Amino acid sequence: MSHPLPPLQWDVFCRVIDNFGDIGVCWRLVAQLAARGHRVRLWVDDASALQWMAPTGCPGVELRAWGSPPPGPDEPAPDVMVEAFGCDITPEFIAHSAYVSGARGQKSQKPVWINLEYLSAESYVERHHKLSSLLSSGPGAGWTRWFFYPGFTPGTGGLLREPALMAWRAAFDHGAWRAKHASAFGLGDGGPEQRWVSLFCYEPAALPELLRHCQAQPTQLLVTPGRPTAAVQAALAEGGTQTMSQIGRLRLSDQRGQLSISYVPHRPQTAFDEMLWACDFNAVRGEDSLVRALWAGQALVWQIYPQHDNAHHDKLWAFLDWLQAPASLRQFHATWNGLDTAPLQWPSDDTLAEWTACIQAARARLLTQDNLVAQLLGFVAEKR
């Protein structure tokens, strides 16, 4: 960052669309801003996931319900306004900010207005990153809104990453974590040959096939709550290993051949990260968990958020191109995301090692770039 910033008032706006992804990204963003000494108000239409995602909150971060009245006269006016993922800041808040800015006089600084976009590896990201849009009407007429794109290359805004994240990762004892998990779920020691797999997905058509593969070799499957758990239950029932009447009476763990299944509870973001670190293979979905799986440095498959016009297909191929994914990993992604009907090829030990090496090489490239918050702070310093 070329210019130091004093503590600023940030107002971040989030509308929850994809269950946990939007609020997950926004919470990591505001927590990292607060850790750097900034004040943050997070305006969100559904904060329910934060009850388990961030149960202790974060000093310096204040939650506001979407549509609540703008800040009062005794509260700080915004220095930076961030609308996440193209959500529109309420006209009342913009009008309030314009009024406060005008009341301060001609020498006052308008808030830096940032539209934080979705993550993509597609080529348009570098072209559009940091472009501006002049508002011609409404209460913010004459103000500039800047488009800020996260991304995987130096020409983008980078990815969310705490400054000490790699040190935390290096100090993590995955053996102790696995032993503690096995004890909590009443599981035996699966031995060094047992694969640990985490599952955070939508409803991939290839899920029953994955479960059959896992039953044929020692596997510990950690299934996250909500749609992943429902999808696994449905797949087991469809395969004749569980009756539909049993669905809903979920046990903490289950055994199918050589597959041990643990239905894990909702967990805070830091604990979710540790689960990714502890596993040999992570099935993730959406944006936030993909980024955290990349930092974990373990083999992964990404189920991309499906779009009705299949625009997610190009987005997935662009990511795999950037990843420099080997052919086997590209094919696994294609099948997992329903882009074709080829059989799901569960990786051998050698193939899994190749996938892990691919992710770690990609992580090494990412670590040469500034993280997203550092880049945001530098950008705001330039515009103020």
Domain ranges for the chain = 9-158+370-383, 165-366
Provide the pLDDT for residue 305.
Answer: 84
What average pLDDT does the segment 133-150 reach? 93
Q: Say what angle helices 349-366 and 311-323 make with each other, to 10 degrees.
A: 90
pLDDT at 74 over 70: yes
From the list 79, 254, 280, 287, the catalytic residue is 287
Question: Which 8-state DSSP code applies to residue 249?
Answer: S
* Average per-residue pLDDT for the chain: 92
What average pLDDT does the segment 30-40 reach? 98
Provide the pLDDT for residue 250.
Answer: 57
What is the spatial distance between Cα 153 and Cα 327, in angstroms, rounded to a whole number? Answer: 22
> Between residues 305 and 363, which one has the greater pLDDT?
363
CATH class of 165-366: alpha beta
18 noted as active-site residue: no
Provide the pLDDT for residue 140.
Answer: 87
* Three-state DSSP state, 111: coil
Question: What pairing do the DSSP bridges indicate for beta strands 144-148 and 132-134?
Answer: antiparallel
pLDDT at 2 over 90: no
pLDDT at 264 over 90: yes
287 noted as active-site residue: yes
Of 165-174, 248-257, 325-334, the least confident: 248-257
What average pLDDT does the segment 136-149 reach? 92
Identical fold, 9-158+370-383 and 165-366: yes
Residues 6+ positions from 115 with CB-CB distance below 8 Å: 82, 83, 86, 145, 146, 147, 148
What is the spatial distance between Cα 237 and Cα 259, in angstroms, rounded to a whole number? Answer: 15
From the list 22, 254, 280, 288, the catalytic residue is 22
pLDDT at 332 over 70: yes
* Three-state DSSP state, 95: helix
* Three-state DSSP state, 14: strand
Instruction: Write down the pTM of the prediction.
Output: 0.94
Provide the pLDDT for residue 104.
Answer: 65
Architecture of domain 9-158+370-383: 3-Layer(aba) Sandwich (3.40)
What is the spatial distance between Cα 104 and Cα 297, in angstroms, rounded to a whole number? Answer: 49
What average pLDDT does the segment 163-188 reach? 94
The dihedral sign for the CA sequence 244, 247, 249, 250 = positive
